[in-house]
Amino acid sequence: MTPMAGKFLCYASIANVLAVVLAAVGGAVTSKMKGLNGNGDILRKTGASVVTEGEKRPATSADYAALGSGIFMSFCLYLLGNILGSLPGLSVIPGLAWTIILGILIKCTGILPDKLADNCVYSMNFALRALLPMLIAGIGVNSLKFETLAEFFSIGAFAVIFLGVFGALIGAMIFGRLSGLWSYEAGVTAGLCCCNIGGSGDLAVLSAANRMNLLAFASISTRIGGALMVIWIGLLYPLFH
């Protein structure tokens, strides 16, 4: 399949653009439809009301020590995830996925003090506000490969890709609803983030959807979706080649 790498890259780039467009359009449409848009929350809350206790945590902090400790914790988790991803027997899972798994385990077990966890949130929000526009611009410019698009693009291929991306969105919305998730958030993270070009595609899709707080869910979806794609290609390619 190596000779077809250029064609696959072209189609993946088209799917990535469609995923970004559908994320933006889907957010505008579902925001006007009751029961489909969680406004950033992925879990549907049951019951008459939700009671919040204590003081609401600010989005970020001007304390350099707090920001620095959050960044340090993030780098430690990233380094540990990459170490696990390079060990024999564990390398089937990418290092970034291990980082996310470690973060989930730390949060679920509660072994990290709340103050340090808040510092990690502060550093994440600081990075999103300060660096995201530059990052998205760089990704967009780097993804423009007009020669490849012109060589392999066709109306038929575009139609198939659009139906695939749209089907992933609608399917994830339906099953997300049945699983107790908000439909739009499930469609973006579990659907559209399986149709983009990986981590940079997740940033573009979530930025268009204004759902950057769901990056962890989207990253897991991307890794699982990528693994499933490899499996399906390995099974189906010999049948149709």
pTM of the full structure: 0.61
pLDDT reported for residue 174: 93
Residue 215's CB is within 10 A of a number of other CB atoms, namely 18
Mean pLDDT of all residues in 195-214: 81
Mean pLDDT of all residues in 116-141: 71
Pick 133 or 102 by higher pLDDT.
Answer: 102
Mean pLDDT of all residues in 152-162: 84
Helices 5-30 & 199-209 angle (0-180, nearest 10)? 20
Residues in CB range of 137: below 8 A, 6 or more apart: none
Question: How does pLDDT run across 51-73, given as a tens digit for each residue?
Answer: 444 455 565 667 778 888 888 88
Q: Which of 26-35, 89-98, 123-132 shows the highest mean pLDDT?
A: 26-35
Residues in CB range of 44: below 8 A, 6 or more apart: 38, 180, 181, 182
pLDDT reported for residue 49: 42
C-alpha–C-alpha distance, residues 3 and 168, integer Å: 27
In the chain, domain spans:
2-41+58-240
> Which helix (H) or strand (E) element contains residue 150?
helix 146-152
Residue 223's CB is within 10 A of a number of other CB atoms, namely 20
Pick 226 or 6 by higher pLDDT.
Answer: 226
Residue 84 scores a pLDDT above 70 = yes
Mean of per-residue pLDDT scores for the chain: 77
Residue 228 scores a pLDDT above 90 = no
DSSP string across 194-222: GSSSSHHHHHHHHHHHT-GGGHHHHHHHH
pLDDT reported for residue 141: 60
